[in-house]
Amino acid sequence: MVASDLDQAGLDRLEAELNLSGQNVWTKAGDLRSKDYCEDLIEYSVQATGLDMLVNKAGIITRGNILTTTGEFCERTFEISVSSIFHTSRKAIGHMKRHGGGAIVNVACYWGPYPGPGHAAYWISEAAVAALPKCLGRDQASDGTRVNAVCPNEVNAPMLRTGPPAWLRSVHSRSGGQQPGALRPARGARPNSRRGNLPMSYAPSRARRSN
Q: Which residues are catalytically annotated?
A: 122
Q: Which residues of 109-136 are buried (b: 16+ CB within 10 A; e: fewer)?
A: bbbbeebeebbbbbbbbbbbbbbbbeeb
Upper half-sphere CA count for residue 92 (Cβ side, 13 Å): 28
Cα separation of 108 and 5, whole Å? 17
Strand partners, 29: 5
Pair 134, 91: CB distance under 8 Å: no
Please state the φ and ψ torsions of residue 27, each to the nearest 5 degrees.
-135, 155
Upper half-sphere CA count for residue 53 (Cβ side, 13 Å): 14
Cis peptide before 115 (omega within 30 of 0): no
